[in-house]
Chain A
Amino acid sequence: MDLTKLTIAELQEQLRKRAVTAREIAEAHLKRIDERDPQVKAFLRLSPERALEQAAAIDRMVEKKQPLPPLAGVPMAIKDVIATRDVPTTAGSRILEKYRPPYDATAVARLEQAGAVILGKTNCDEFAMGSSTENSSYFPTRNPHDLERVPGGSSGGSAAAVADALAVASLGSDTGGSIRQPASFCGVVGVMGTYGRVSRYGLIAFASSLDHVGPFARTVRDAAAVLQVVAGRDSNDSTSADVPVPDYAAELEKPVKGMKVGVPKEYFGAGLDAEVRAQVEKGIERLRELGCELREVSLPHTDYAIACYYIIATAEASSNLARYDGVRYAFRAPGADSLEAMYHTTRGAGFGAEVKRRIMLGTYVLSAGYYEAYYLKAQKVRTLLYQDFVRAFEQVDALVTPTAPTPAFKLGEKTNDPLQMYLADIYTVTGSLAGVPGISVPCGKSKAGLPIGLQLFAKHFDEARLLRLAHAFEQSGGFDL
């Protein structure tokens, strides 16, 4: 039995009947990481001691025949923008190279409370800014389906780890598509809950009004199990919602027949790769076969989403990244003899090119004389984009779109053209701006064998329906890899 290919349910069944120990499961994953990760490069850092300690705790529970928590013994990987106590958390940036947080993010604490075994921290674009994981200060991560290609980003390490069976599930963060787009590129399931569904406490901020923590897994059921644990009100995050979390596993079993699903025409225009279009159209056809009522809808402001997103996200980022000043933690550029020099050289040397570009853009759009023309304008367009979704959801229960306009691209292909890189997020940023939940599920492959993702959106806090529809699609077969 290959312990690295099991679902959460299978793995727990094995544990319960004592066919394997949590330690064996953890060790099998660490061994696979040892063999595979030198090529994939999904992990920045492993935490084997913490993992084995947790596995031992689970094994003691099994021995004592205690009831097992929902993620008992499940090996997981955590994106490096999420704080882990005493385990270096760098956000993929040199400026945090030596930083060890004195606390756990709420999502991490909840996972461990639920029995998950944290294997280590995964690579990402610096401060989650990017769509390919090439902006990591350390090294790029490779797509397990083609090592010459990117895994997507910014949560590329978390997506690749799950795709390559280095972990059963993982946490990523999504600000404009950073979970859904790499899920699509790597052929796994990635979920962004409603804004406020999962606590951001401990998530190193990129753009606070858009940042989400969410799971990657190989099946919708597994993703739902992880979301179940991390979702819900957290008193440490003012923006986390006080909205009850339904039993997602139970919701998966409900029928999808008669569900109204909208197809927004703006997502199928120019720029959509022909193979992606063909696969997604097949996927839509399958939804019809499952009994869904499909209808065309319009999200008329879609074309403005990227512009709107890059203004708001960079404005917030320019402020969120002001704290990396060389005073309280981590990196300070050596040799500065004045305060001003310390700030400038620390930040000049500590941040990579994309981060600097976004800090510059964000500072510019907030600066005196430009605030109204850029930042305020973008906030108003955000209102329109939000209303697009609200209106669409007056007609339908869910929306179906491609996750990304293309399959995974080659390393280096877009690194010199920031704008082209930004356009890789064209179908994902809309949902981020509107704060609705979204999911990417595998929707077959291109001829070259590259995964293609199907994206679904649902109403605010209606993750149950989103997961149910994705699960039905996945279970209908023929679209897996």
Chain B
Amino acid sequence: MELTREEIAAVAERKRAAYEAVIGLEVHVQLKTASKIFCGCSTRFGDPPNSNVCPVCLGLPGSLPVLNRQVAELATRTALAINCQVREQSIFARKNYFYPDLPKGYQISQYDRPLAEHGRLEIHVPTGGAGKKTRKKRIDITRLHLEEDAGKSLHEGLPESEAKTYLDFNRCGVPLMEIVSEPDLRTPEEAYAYLTTLKQVLEYIEVSDCDMEKGSLRCDANVSVRPVGTEKFGVKTEVKNLNSFRYLAKALEYEIDRQVALLESGGRIEQETRLWNTQAGRTEPMRSKEHAHDYRYFPEPDLLPLVMDAAWVEDIRRAMPELPAAKEARFVEHYGLSDYDAEVLTANRALADYFEATAAKAPNAKTAANWIQTELLGALKEAGQEISRSPVPPQALAELLQLVEDGTLSGKMGKTVFEKMFASGKSARAIVAAEKMEQITDAGEIEKLCGEVLAKNADKVEQYKKGKQALFGFFVGQVMKATRGQANPRRVNDTLKKLLG
């Protein structure tokens, strides 16, 4: 029974709160290698169709797979980063099924003895309401295994698309790892947070581009619902094609509502695979054959067991870059940042590196953190620019902060200079020199300027002395005006107070 969107919305609106969702994610990650998992063809994205193929990835008779060492290395690095136990011997198996873009009629994948198991990942789940509060939650990871990607079937837009499906085998044999979570996620927000955190880790350890548009990060979800307060899992569906962060939560919300509405309308949930249809905004059942799921797995005799001995794993562990959680803690500890600032600045490795490079040269790390979050990230966002291509490099920002710190520039002037730096790529000193923006700090000069202002406004000095204290601001303003804002405000204040007795 398929309910319409409207039917689902109507029921779910009333009954949603009575159910709890149980979600597990299967994330497919393309490993960042130059060549494919079992042959030397390039993994480059966007090459002409069927140009990165050879006897091995085309499955020509007599060809044999040979495992790419880097694939084992990157996957093991990932396994360690998400706290998995790495198996000393993992086994490749054949998953047998027919599909035109699967050249051998089987996919080489790990099955009952995967590379790694029993991991965990800590996520930050927004607690809702105002503010930036999050709570931590531990998500267990069932397994991490290696497999080869299939080719690409093109169903539309080609001359004979009416009658034919076109095949491009470039992707065939691209190395993938599949990371399967336990059904520990309870809401679409948690699923979103999990995927975000996982992506952050994968980018930190440089194992994948994690580019969903290029298919290097793909996500399927197992979803079921149960009445709040019950333990027993409901019948689950597998939702495929959750290939953008934007739609992940939407698709899960839809599927949860659909299951709730179905149960509430006396229907039964089928254990099936459903596809998220972005255009229609709903999940739809995949048409499948009754025998389609007998994959007849058996050990792949063309490959040896993958042996990750202790020494090799230890080498990989030693070379592991600092992970986001550790970095976040260190930023709080070492730089005295708030939890929130540390979380923002460790969102990706480039940003964290930028912060640290700035902090190393800047007079004050916390000020650096503030400037990066407000000025730099704002300007980058507006310009649609990545931090890695920031026109203001860390040393340049640190120099600017130094000028503000030593009073050469006021905070306000500093922001103006920053804007000019961002637009021109010039250094702070160059801009200050060229525009004569230097702050006037010389005591004698300030005293002279203040004296001139007071002399010109003798009447107002009179009023001030009679008690019209509010005029103090006027005098400051006049001094600043006379110096086009370049006088050090604190010194102007002090001097005026002195002169006015």
Contacts and interface: CB of A to CB of B under 8 A. Distances in A.
Do A and B have CB atoms closer than 8 angstroms in the complex? yes
A186 B163 CA distance: 53
B154 interface: no
Given A102-B55, A328-B59, A208 B302 contact: yes
Given A89-B61, A99-B61, A236-B64, A323 B302 contact: no
B60 interface: yes
Pairs of residues from A and B, 5 with the lowest C-beta to C-beta distance, nearest first:
A322-B105, A209-B301, A208-B301, A366-B296, A202-B62
Interface in A406-435: none
Contacts of A203: 62
A37 interface: no
Contacts of B165: 339
Interface string A235-263: 11111000000000000000000000000
Contact of B302 (A83, A91, A238): A238
A316 B301 contact: yes
A375 B298 contact: yes
A323 B98 CA distance: 9
A200 B65 CA distance: 11
Interface of A: 82-83, 89, 91, 96, 99, 101-103, 105, 200-205, 207-209, 235-239, 315-316, 318-319, 321-323, 325, 327-329, 339, 343, 363, 366-368, 371, 375
A322 B67 contact: no
B61 A201 contact: no
B58 A204 contact: no
A319 B298 contact: yes
B371 interface: no
A238 B59 contact: no
Contacts of A238: 64-67, 302-304
Contacts of A101: 55, 60-62
Interface string B285-299: 000000000101010
Considering residues B60, B66, B294, B304, which has the most beta carbons from chain A within 10 angstroms of its beta carbon? B60
Interface in B92-109: 94, 96, 98, 100, 103-106
B100 to A, nearest CB: 5
B103 A201 contact: no
A96 B61 CA distance: 10
Contacts of B55: 101-103
A236 B303 CA distance: 11
Contacts of A325: 98, 100, 105
B424 interface: no
A91 B61 contact: yes
B259 to A, nearest CB: 27
B121 interface: no
Nearest to B61: A204
A322 B64 contact: no
B277 interface: no
Contacts of B60: 83, 101-103, 328-329
Nearest to B97: A322
B312 to A, nearest CB: 17
Contacts of A202: 62-63
Nearest to B59: A323
A343 B62 contact: no
A323 B296 contact: no
B167 interface: yes
B20 to A, nearest CB: 32
Contact of A368 (B103, B106, B294): B294
Contact of A322 (B100, B106, B294): B106
B62 A201 contact: yes
B62 A323 contact: no
A367 B294 CA distance: 7
Considering residues A105, A205, A315, which has the most beta carbons from chain B within 10 angstroms of its beta carbon? A205
Contacts of B104: 322-323
Given A204-B62, A239-B303, 4 more contacts: A101-B55, A319-B105, A322-B106, A328-B59
Interface string B46-85: 0000000001001111111111000000000000000000
B63 to A, nearest CB: 7
Nearest to A347: B98
